[in-house]
Structure 1
Amino acid sequence: MGKTNYAKGMYIQPVVGPAVTYVADFTKVQIRCRNDNGSSPTTPYLCVTAGSTISTFWHRRNALPDDIMIVYSHIGPCMFYLGKVTPNPDDIKWFKIYELGYNKDTKKWCSEVARDNHGRMDIVIPKDIENGRYLLRTELLTLQNAQKPMGAQFYPNCVQIHITGANNKFLDPPPEYVSFPGVYQPNDTGILYNLRKDGGMTYQIPGPPVYPPVKNPS
């Protein structure tokens, strides 16, 4: 079955400021979706079947093949979360469905993997969840200045999706839910981190463990 391509930014919540701007203070609400509230009634929802693969694309300037996605000095992990939409975005309970940090075999960070793939990341939507409207939160964390308190740079975005065909249940144990803001703290391992000293060898990705129903493509 073929893949469907959608217009750039069609289902992504608008961000505050330039598209290349990061969130410096992850204790503020902007860490949720890089905007002021985490909801966008004017943004349509993409219909997604549970268990299917969705491809997201990160770009720096444009969607052309020669776009480098992010400058080469900016390296770090990426994380993907799901949160079921609630009337008040502050009440959304998020759970992590994918993460990729530093691969000791290839000696590459997720940011480098994504850049090599022209910004594309393929993510499997879990089957063992509930149907309904969700925010798919994509997040790139760069560590070039993370040796300083509050020096880590976060690039979150939220895609509005409507999941169908799910099993309407969670596996046992269920996901570990977190809040944005709230889950990240300034002294967390993986946020306050000396990249130049360690080079990724002992790096631990921040946030909760990945919810385990499906295996994502490597």
Structure 2
Amino acid sequence: MKISAAILGLVSLGQAHYHFHTTIYNDVASEKFEFIRETDWNLRDGPELDVFGPNMTCNRMNANPFTEQGTKVLEVTAGSTIDFEGYIEISHPGPLQFFLAKAPSGTKVEEFDGLGDVWFKIYSDGDESSIIDERLTWPNWKKNRVSIKIPECVADGEYLLRLEHIALHNASQDNGAQFYISCAQIRVTRGTGTLQPSPSDLLAFPGSYDPKDPGLFLHIWYPIPTSYTAPGGPVLQC
């Protein structure tokens, strides 16, 4: 009976794809892709499957290079909250994570490619999974609006803010984990934070994930795991 339910779950979830295009800050909603780097309209709903590919940084870019898109920079303060909104809800099971990468000195975030060991994790609901209706579920399930608080210790400067939802419904297959990624351009101002992540805290996208990582290669339907650890290590603490 449980196996049948798992198969039905795979079928029902197989085609539901999504992306995030709008930011909401201080109750003000942006235009679509005003502060989020725009992805190719033909591909923006499709997931990234290759953890070693260039699209792991900020998803599939528009035909124009990101430096020519005219994406604006959202000014925020450390300790404040930014919402990301999509056009449909998150309809696959899996963890939601957020990362920051600071643009190097002398480089505008609009020109920053986000490559190399530059990312640090500021949020993950990976360890908040629970079993509901005979399936492993995370707090982001069925949400089309998710929030991230910029840690108060984050230093002023320009950053890429990377949203990553990992769909695990097909993760028992090789390269079956699906990545739904969006990158916002933000400028942290008027803060007192001095955070300087150590090299051991930094991640690369692509580079830090392997398709055989335990958090990416597993069967979530049957038998249902009793615990889960998301890839990318722990959240950086202030």
Percent of aligned positions that are identical: 32
State the match for 1:7 in structure 2: 31
Alpha-carbon deviation of 1:108? 3.0
State the match for 1:50 in structure 2: 78
Question: For each residue in 1:144-173, what CA deviation from the matched residue of structure 2 results, as whole angstroms up to 9, or x when unmatched?
Answer: 110012110000110111111232412797
- Is residue 170 from structure 1 mapped to residue 190 from structure 2 by the alignment? no
1:3-152, aligned counterparts within 5 Å? 3-16=27-40, 17-35=42-60, 39-41=66-68, 42-60=70-88, 69-71=89-91, 74-86=92-104, 87=107, 89=113, 90-91=115-116, 93-101=118-126, 102-104=128-130, 108-112=137-141, 115=142, 117=143, 119-152=144-177
Report if the CA contact (8 A) 1:141-1:155 is conserved. Answer: yes
Alpha-carbon deviation of 1:6? 1.8
TM-score (norm 2): 0.74
Alpha-carbon deviation of 1:128? 1.2
Q: Which runs of 4+ in 1 moved over 4 A?
A: 36-39, 171-175
State the match for 1:65 in structure 2: none
- Is residue 161 from structure 1 mapped to residue 191 from structure 2 by the alignment? no
| One-letter identity of the residue aligned with 1:109 | W
TM-score (norm 1): 0.80
- Which of 195, 198, 211 is the aligned partner of 1:186? 211
Report if the CA contact (8 A) 1:77-1:100 is conserved. Answer: yes
Question: For each residue in 1:90-149, what CA deviation from the matched residue of structure 2 results, as whole angstroms up to 9, or x when unmatched?
Answer: 24600011111343376631341xx2x4x1112110121221111110011001110012
Identify unmatched segments of 5+ residues in structure 1: 61-68, 214-218
Identify unmatched segments of 5+ residues in structure 2: 1-25
Aligned-pair Cα RMSD in Å: 2.5
Report if the CA contact (8 A) 2:129-2:228 is conserved. Answer: no
| One-letter identity of the residue aligned with 2:72 | P
Structure 2 CA distance, aligned partners of 1:30 and 1:172? 24
Structure 2 CA distance, aligned partners of 1:91 and 1:129? 20
Instruction: Count the aligned residue pairs.
Output: 198
Structure 2 CA distance, aligned partners of 1:170 and 1:198? 41
| Greater Rg over alpha carbons, structure | 2
